[in-house]
Chains A and B, each alone.
Chain A
Amino acid sequence: MTDQLTPVLTETWDVEQGWKLAPYAALGGYAALDTAFAMSPDDVITAVKDSGLRGRGGAGFPTGMKWSFIPQDNPKPKYLVVNADESEPGTCKDIPLMMGNPHVLVEGVILSSYAIRANKAFIYIRGEVVHVIRRVQAAVEEAYAAGHLGTDIHGSGYDLDVVVHAGAGAYICGEETALLEGLEGRRGQPRLRPPFPAVAGLYASPTVINNVESIASVPAIVRHGAAWFASMGTEKSKGHGIFSLSGHVVTPGQYEAPLGITLRELLELAGGIRKGHQLKFWTPGGSSTPLLTAEHLDVPLDFEGVGAVGSMLGTRALQIFDETVCVVRAVLRWTEFYKHESCGKCTPCREGTWWLVQALTRLENGQGTEADLDQLLDQCDNILGRSFCALGDGATSPISSSIAHFRDEYLAHLSHGGCPFDATRSTAWSGQEVTA
């Protein structure tokens, strides 16, 4: 029986200067390089396939399969790009991972690049996290100095260069083709697919783009074997993942556990909902994943389990809201975010998110009629599946799911002539003033 929490990527986070090479190497770091170099690149891909690792950036696409799509007969250079643009509201796992254990990412980059036969890799980090960028820059520098990067790594004949690239503020660059545009020095707008990046990605060359946590999971798979990784998790969702609890819980934070743990179990570990309050709604994997409620406490948090209840596992960004939070206010704020971050390339998303904000603002202010709810859902129908990329789809998730679960609360705004909630009650310091 696997333990309830399984620290692997978080293992160095409580180590003194855990971001440095020496403590990482003392725990066996970079040992997987020689194991991999003794294997053929294809065998490394097979190991990652056999492990069952699925993308940790939200979509859950099998990582090894993605790697195998790289056409090795293509004479162009191959590239690995790490998507470290973590920006999905609620998602806060890659940032502490890069801050506390940047070497596991660098080691993963080397192993993954070797597997896909890339000699150049890029780590695209959102710009708004300077200290994280410092730590990754320093880790790459240390890895070069130790001979883990550069030419003829460990005498294997394999060469790899890594560039740490800072973004400049754009949620859309978390979308992989928009990220490539940013990395090519252009406006971050998504590209039409196909061709997929595996065939024509960075500089129209074969490119693998993976999330930070996906790449960071590779060293332990190579070291301990595919079967070790697959011994954690559920049938189709293997391995460990970082679950991020935020909001109205007693102990918010990062909990690294096998996929398939439930919110009920996580809340028990986190001390439950803050005292005197009850769970109202939550996101399983960021604001783009449809909202769930207390009736979903026992849903296994794996790709299939969350999908079966009409949402998505996403990035395991569990934002927890108690009964003091107005769901209309919450959804309006997310919608304003999508409107702000819409890149403007396609009409349904650019115009649609603007209209969604108008409609929701009216409802939050208690203006309009019940028919406006149906119009709002109709607007969502005209965005979902009709947008150029997943940003537009994601914008509709909180709206349609909140109307499904909390239609009465929307109506209460109309009968109340405004928001019936007291916004001060939801703050982190609410209730503390009287006891202090």
Chain B
Amino acid sequence: MSTPPILDKTLDELREIAARYPEPRSGLLPMLHLVQSVQGRITPEGIEACAAILDISPAEVSGVATFYTMYKRHGVGDYHVGVCTNTLCAVMGGDAIFERLKDHLDIGNDEVAVQRQGDSKTVSLEHIECNAACDFAPVMMVNWEFMDNQTPDSAVQVVEALRSGHEVSSTRGPKLCTWREAERVLAGFPDGRADEGPTAGEASLAGLRIARERGWTAPDPSEAPAKETGQ
């Protein structure tokens, strides 16, 4: 993957992030996301740029960059695939999905699959911890978008569609963008795609559907005891 240099536009945006906060150093996490969106990973150049803007040492920035798992010191694919192998997803099939993808892509954890002739995009693979979608287990993430209720077969289909450059949509979100584009959103630069995807996935609606069917609601406020406080 290419590693474009950090140009003035990015330096301006890094300063813009720092300026969102009462103390500029608070911007460091999103600033590192922006570095990744431009360079594809955390580079020494990116570390030094952040350090210079925040007037702290590159070692301090490095210390932060190495603490958080979303910061990568080596490149990932255009599409970074995460398979949840925390307990619940693991027993529901996450272990089997992860094994199948490692085998299919012929890579280990946290590696990038070889770009075959004819592949227009690359994928990388990582096992991840609980991503807060347990009611959709087993769960896979692609560039931190939800791919709910996966099977080993569906997971292989997803990575193959991604490698061949086909459009793939999150099961509960938008059309998948690249990892670098997603990192830019995390840096606090919206991509205008919040309105894609449904309000909620099927499992999220389980209780609400029953309540609607049975006419169950929260108590009627007009029947609640009089306000004890206020005006």
State the A residues within 8 Å of B (CB): 2-8, 10-20, 35, 38-39, 43, 46-47, 50, 77, 86-92, 94-96, 99-100, 120, 126-131, 133-135, 137-138, 141, 163-171, 182-188, 203, 220, 223-228, 231-232, 240, 243-247, 251-257, 269-270, 287, 317, 319, 321, 325, 329-331, 333-334, 337, 340-341, 343, 423-424, 426-429
Minimum distance in angstroms from B100 CB to a CB of chain A = 12
Minimum distance in angstroms from B212 CB to a CB of chain A = 7
**Interface flag for B163 (CB, 8 Å):** no
Can you give 10 contacting A-B residue pairs, CB < 8 Å?
Answer: A7-B211, A43-B231, A89-B87, A99-B200, A130-B173, A134-B174, A187-B64, A226-B227, A231-B225, A427-B92
B129 touches A89 (CB 8 A): yes
The interface centre, meaning the residue of B25, B92, B212 with most chain A CB atoms within 10 A of its CB, is B92
A428 CB contacts on chain B under 8 angstroms = 92-93, 137-138, 149, 151
**Interface flag for B102 (CB, 8 Å):** no
Name the residue on B nearest A229 (C-beta).
Answer: B224
Name the residue on B nearest A170 (C-beta).
Answer: B68
Contact of B199 among A19, A39, A90, A245 (CB under 8 A): A19
**Interface flag for B170 (CB, 8 Å):** yes
Q: A183-B26, A227-B226 are in contact. Are A13 and B200 (CB under 8 A)?
A: yes
B86 touches A333 (CB 8 A): yes
Q: How far is the CA of A52 from the CA of B210 in the complex (A)?
A: 27
Q: How far is the CA of A11 from the CA of B131 in the complex (A)?
A: 23
Q: How far is the CA of A94 from the CA of B134 in the complex (A)?
A: 12
A170 touches B188 (CB 8 A): no
B218 touches A6 (CB 8 A): yes
B207 touches A7 (CB 8 A): yes
B54 CB contacts on chain A under 8 angstroms = 185
A331 CB contacts on chain B under 8 angstroms = 87
The interface centre, meaning the residue of A38, A170, A247, A257 with most chain B CB atoms within 10 A of its CB, is A247
Q: How far is the CA of A167 from the CA of B71 in the complex (A)?
A: 11
Name the residue on B nearest A128 (C-beta).
Answer: B144
Contact of B91 among A50, A163, A169, A325 (CB under 8 A): A325
Name the residue on A nearest B149 (C-beta).
Answer: A428
Name the residue on A nearest B212 (C-beta).
Answer: A14
B211 touches A99 (CB 8 A): no
B21 touches A163 (CB 8 A): yes
A225 touches B132 (CB 8 A): no
Q: How far is the CA of A227 from the CA of B197 in the complex (A)?
A: 37
A256 touches B208 (CB 8 A): yes
B4 CB contacts on chain A under 8 angstroms = none
Which B residues, 189 to 207, have Cβ-Cβ distances below 8 Å to chain A? 190-191, 193-195, 197, 199-207
Contact of B133 among A2, A95, A137 (CB under 8 A): A95
Q: A127-B33, A128-B141, A130-B185 are in contact. Are A341 and B199 (CB under 8 A)?
A: no
Name the residue on A nearest B92 (C-beta).
Answer: A428
Name the residue on B nearest A227 (C-beta).
Answer: B225
The interface centre, meaning the residue of B133, B200, B214, B221 with most chain A CB atoms within 10 A of its CB, is B200
Q: How far is the CA of A220 from the CA of B217 in the complex (A)?
A: 14
Minimum distance in angstroms from B201 CB to a CB of chain A = 7
B118 CB contacts on chain A under 8 angstroms = none
B64 touches A321 (CB 8 A): no
Q: How far is the CA of A334 from the CA of B218 in the complex (A)?
A: 36
Q: What string of 1s and 0s marks CB contacts (under 8 Å) between B84-110 and chain A?
A: 011110111101100000000000000
Minimum distance in angstroms from A177 CB to a CB of chain B = 15
Minimum distance in angstroms from A284 CB to a CB of chain B = 14
**Interface flag for B228 (CB, 8 Å):** yes
Q: A131-B145, A134-B190 are in contact. Are A168 and B71 (CB under 8 A)?
A: yes
Name the residue on B nearest A266 (C-beta).
Answer: B207
Contact of A203 among B22, B151, B206 (CB under 8 A): B22
Minimum distance in angstroms from B8 CB to a CB of chain A = 23
Contact of A244 among B68, B86, B134 (CB under 8 A): B134
A185 touches B28 (CB 8 A): yes
Q: A100-B200, A128-B128, A164-B188 are in contact. Are A429 and B218 (CB under 8 A)?
A: no
Q: How far is the CA of A13 from the CA of B160 in the complex (A)?
A: 32
9 new A-B contacts at CB < 8 Å, known A91-B130, A227-B226: A120-B22, A130-B143, A131-B194, A131-B197, A137-B185, A167-B68, A171-B129, A247-B91, A251-B206
A96 CB contacts on chain B under 8 angstroms = 200-201, 204
B28 CB contacts on chain A under 8 angstroms = 185-186
B188 touches A92 (CB 8 A): no
B29 touches A165 (CB 8 A): yes
Q: A16-B199, A163-B21, A164-B188 are in contact. Are A95 and B132 (CB under 8 A)?
A: yes
